[in-house]
Amino acid sequence: MGSVFIDSDVFIAAFNKRDGNHETGNKLLKEALSGRYREVYTSDFVL
């Protein structure tokens, strides 16, 4: 599969059990770390 960009919202949701998107964020992060994607990107750049 191709590349994917992980935004900070995914990290926040994955690690915060009270976040309304916790399950989705956790699933997306696990998929990204499993090697499903060729390359995974993130950034510390904030607008």
Q: Is 7 exposed, middle or buried (0-12, 13-18, 19+ CB in 10 A)?
A: exposed
**Residue 25 belongs to some domain of the structure:** yes
Q: Quote the domain boundaries for residue 34.
A: 4-41
**Residue 46 belongs to some domain of the structure:** no
**Residue 29 belongs to some domain of the structure:** yes
User: What tens digit of pLDDT does each residue of 1-45 get?
Assistant: 799 999 999 999 999 999 999 999 999 999 999 999 999 999 988
Q: List residues bridging with 4 in a β-sheet.
A: 40
The count of structural domains within the chain is: 1
pLDDT for the residue 47: 67
Predicted structure pTM score: 0.78
- Tell me the three state secondary structure of residue 20: coil
**Residue 37 belongs to some domain of the structure:** yes
Q: Which residue has the higher pLDDT, 10 or 47?
A: 10
Structure tokens at 23: 């399950």
φ, ψ for residue 11 (rounded to 5)?
Answer: -65, -45
**Residue 19 belongs to some domain of the structure:** yes
Q: List residues bridging with 5 in a β-sheet.
A: 41
